[in-house]
Amino acid sequence: MSTLWLVVLVVGAATVALKATGPVLLGGRAIPEAVAGVVELLAPVLLTALVVTQTVGGDNELVLDARLAGVGAGALAIAARAPLPAVVVVAAAATALARLVL
Amino acid sequence: MASYAPSSSLRYRDAARAAVAVAATVWFFGASFGLVARAAGMGVLAPLVMSATTFAGSAQFAVASILGGSGAALAAIAAAVLLNARYAPISISVAQLFHGPRLRRLAESQLIVDESWALAGRSGRFDRRVLLGAGLLLYVAWVSGTAVGVLAGNALGDPKDLGLDGAFPALFLALLVPQLRTRRAVVAALVSAAIALLLIPITPAGTPIVAASAACLLGLRSGR
């Protein structure tokens, strides 16, 4: 097998397994009370990590670039209670604009 | 299908509108993956198979860039698996939405992707219909975008020129806000942000998110 197909198949299989972790191992049964509080915090914690890494994440460094302007503009739109599609459009436009200017 | 209260159907219409906007963004990224993968020498079929099976943007871009550079298989696999390791905690957070035979849960779980997951948790509680509906729409967008990208990518331009790389974190921020209803959630989010910021400069991509997810252990403390 070529290197390319080896990578494609191994990464595909690993990702299928990772995405199935919760639903296959824990799906369809009640969460034990002791860990319910932990699972409940997974959403805010993971979303925060996604926001941080996608806003300032770089190749082994923190990068402050046009994305920060986009997220800032998006935050203003969120504060103004703009609907989700509007937040996405505002953030993209601000990022593109900042990239032109910077 | 059972009848739903007007507020519920309104909520789903709202979710559908949001999912379409996100799918359009995802489509462009799929196209740019196709373009980058083709340029990296992955051909036409491999990028398509990858989009259909891996269905996770950052890991796929990492593979294309590593194979296009040094071509080291092990490095590409390690980077992609690390980037997708977050799907273990992500899938655990929505495990309760999956029922029925194991094979069906396995198949449905493949529709979990950052954006479908985040959209499904929008109201503060995860919604199965939104997760699977948005997931299916995003899957079609991602794979069809990839197809256009490998075949005609040059005509589309760079999604960065459209600022789309700034749209995703803003989307996640918008979906984070309704999750911050309790003091404990706010504290956990701040700890998560601190861990991610600390680790970005010193660990390989993917690690900061997985490490930051440990902040959920604050939920072990008693009381709210």
Inform me whether the C-beta atom of residue A47 falls under 8 Å from chain B C-beta atoms: yes
Distance CA A14, CA B50 (A): 12
How close is the nearest chain B Cα to the Cα of A95, in Å? 5
Question: What is the Cα–Cα distance from B116 to A82, expressed in whole angstroms?
Answer: 20
Q: Is B34 within 8 Å of B146 (Cβ atoms)?
A: yes
> With an 8 Å Cβ cutoff, are B173 and A78 in contact?
yes
For residue A9, what pLDDT is reported? Answer: 97
- The neighbour count for residue B122, using CB atoms within 10 Å, is 21
pLDDT at residue B5, rounded to an integer: 47
pLDDT of residue B71: 67
- Name which of A10, A26, A47 to mutate to probe chain B: the one with the most chain B Cβ atoms within 10 A of its Cβ: A47
Model confidence pTM above 0.90: no
Q: Which residues of chain B have pLDDT under 70?
A: 1-7, 70-71, 153, 221-224
- Per CB-CB distance under 8 Å, the chain A contacts of B76 are 7, 11
H helix or E strand, kind and range, residue B134: helix B128-152
| Per-residue tens of pLDDT for chain A, all 102 residues | 688 999 999 999 999 999 999 999 998 777 777 788 888 899 999 999 999 999 999 888 999 999 999 999 999 999 999 998 899 999 999 999 999 998
A64 close to B (CB below 8 A): no
Question: The complex's ipTM?
Answer: 0.93
A54 and chain B: CB distance < 8 Å anywhere?
A: yes
Cα–Cα distance measured from residue B196 to residue B206, given in angstroms and rounded to the nearest whole number: 10
Q: Do B113 and B56 form a contact (C-beta atoms < 8 A)?
A: yes
Match 């559908």 to its residue by tokens.
B16
Q: How many helices (H) and strands (E) would you count in chain B?
A: 11, 0
> With an 8 Å Cβ cutoff, are B219 and A24 in contact?
no
For residue A84, give the nearest of B18, B99, B213 by CB distance. Answer: B18
Nearest CB to A47 within list B80, B87, B179 = B179
Q: Do A83 and B17 touch (CB under 8 A)?
A: yes
A80 vs B: CB within 8 A? no
